[in-house]
Amino acid sequence: MPTFEEARSIILGKIVPIGCERVPLLDAVGRVLAEDVTAPWDMPLYDNSAMDGFAVRAAECTGEGTTLRVAGFVPAGEVADEELQPGCSIRIMTGAPIPPGADAVVPVEETEERDGMVLLRERVIPRQHIRFRGEDVPHGETFATAGSLIGPPEVSMLASFGKAFLSVFRRARVAILSTGDELIELGETPRKGSIINSNALSLAAAVREAGAEPIILGIARDNMESHRKLMIEGLKADALITSAGVSAGDRDFVRDCLAELGVEQVFWKVDIKPGGPTAFGIKEGRPVFALPGNPVSTMITFDQFVRPALLRMMGHSRVFRPLVTATLLDDVRKKPGKLTFIRVSVEMENGKLVARTSGNQQTGILRTMLRANAVAFIPKESGNLAAGEEVKVQLLRDDVTMTER
Ligand code: AMP
Ligand code: MG
């Protein structure tokens, strides 16, 4: 049975990025660039003013109090073509092109303008308050490389260079299969003995949150025919996730059916709690994740194993949520033996992360998953932990409360 770390690296070792597609710039947000992008021109395209003020010849402004004639005005969007004459200045707005002959800008705050003249008190340093052509990105420079994650700064730069379409890794299409005779669909009324197929929805939500496209296949009943029919469908997607039916019980068909359909069985258990009965297989490069059925285990194992794999398929290089250190505020009971995930609520107190358990940690308790914004990783060999000890936590959301006491 692989350890947690082994299981993760076995999975990622088998995952290859799926293809690319060309999309409009805004559709690329949150996705990974699949091409290098080179500046088609200098940025900025022309020398321009960094301030509202006066364009001058620096050599004329010695600091003893210089008076220059205001010979013109260039608002943003306009151009002054005429050479700046000696003894003159041109009133200029931020972003407007520097007139020929000028080599510095004096901010309006440092001047006094009266009767068509401007008085400068300070010495002017050549090149001050000018943004020079190409100083941000010179023409021909590769400013975004394949593998970069697209966020607002990338969009800003790409838009500034006129890139309306981009090549990005496409979204993985992820088939989701629920299994079990007890399951009914959302919308049906549960009776004694039935359970609403919530895993299909929590998995679809998590797939979507990872930037991939869920395909809900429905429910395979506890027989081979039903499993076979839906799994054949599911194996056409980029990845298949099943939930439940993965143990060795006589009503568990996932393992046998996947084997029958030619899915290579890579591992069938991981040394973790919750989520031990997590299986991973592969068919023709397509990963198959057989997750446990218990809703808490399903979500935790999705996050730890499936999410990184989907991100890698979609070209991401950083696929794990960062692990940070937090101080426990509660005692935690644990037997040595398995890496254990504890649902915790993490806050920032006086600039330091603290973690409280979110309550009952039994896998059947879904409520404590809602209260948690992080999972603590309690190492395999660790026993009970006392309040005040440090633990590694993985933040699942970024709405972390900050308090100062
Ligand atoms: P199993 O592995 O088939 O024995 O299922 C384990 C537990 O997970 C059982 O309590 C199931 O009722 C529950 N379960 C299985 N599938 C789902 C599902 N799709 N949605 C919610 N709970 C489920
Ligand atoms: Mg079952």
The predicted-structure confidence for 27-86, as pLDDT tens digits, reads as follows 999 999 999 999 999 999 999 999 999 999 999 998 878 999 999 999 989 998 889 999
C-beta of residue 61 within 8 angstroms of C-beta of residue 124: yes
Ligand 2 ion: Cβ-proximal residues, 5 Å cutoff:
180, 244-245
Top pLDDT among 314 and 371 is at 314
C-beta of residue 376 within 8 angstroms of C-beta of residue 392: yes
Report the nearest-CA residue for atom 10 of ligand 1: 294
- Distance from the CA of 302 to the center of ligand 1, in angstroms? 15
Q: Determine the distance from the C-alpha atom of residue 58 to the mean position of all C-alpha atoms in its chain, rounded to a whole number.
A: 47
Which pLDDT score, from 0 to 100, does residue 65 have? 85
> What is the atom index within ligand 1 of the atom nearest the CA of 251?
3
Q: What is the pLDDT of residues 82-110, one digit of tens each?
A: 899 999 999 999 999 999 999 999 999 99
CA distance 104 to 127: 5
Interval 250-257 mean pLDDT? 93
- Distance from the CA of 56 to the center of ligand 1, in angstroms? 76
Number of H helices, E strands in the chain: 8, 27
> What is the atom index within ligand 1 of the atom nearest the CA of 247?
2
Q: Is 260 helix (H, G, I), strand (E, B) or coil?
A: helix
Choose one of 194, 199, 223 to mutate for the ligand 1 pocket test, by most ligand atoms within 8 angstroms of C-beta. 199
CA distance 175 to 170: 16
Interval 276-291 mean pLDDT? 98
274 pocket-lining for ligand 1 (C-beta < 6 Å)? no
Which pLDDT score, from 0 to 100, does residue 247 have? 86
Residues 6+ apart with CB under 8 A from 163: 25, 37
Q: What is the pLDDT of residues 322-356, one digit of tens each?
A: 999 999 999 999 999 999 999 999 999 999 999 99
- Whether 184 shows a pLDDT value over 90: the answer reads yes
Q: What is the pLDDT of residues 135-177, one digit of tens each?
A: 999 999 999 999 999 999 999 999 999 999 999 999 999 999 9
- Whether 121 shows a pLDDT value over 90: the answer reads no
Which pLDDT score, from 0 to 100, does residue 6 have? 98
295 pocket-lining for ligand 1 (C-beta < 6 Å)? yes
Domains in the chain, CATH or no CATH each: 4-16+171-313 (3.40.980.10), 21-43+135-169 (3.90.105.10), 48-131 (2.170.190.11), 323-395 (2.40.340.10)
The proportion of the chain whose per-residue pLDDT surpasses 90, expressed as a percent, equals: 95
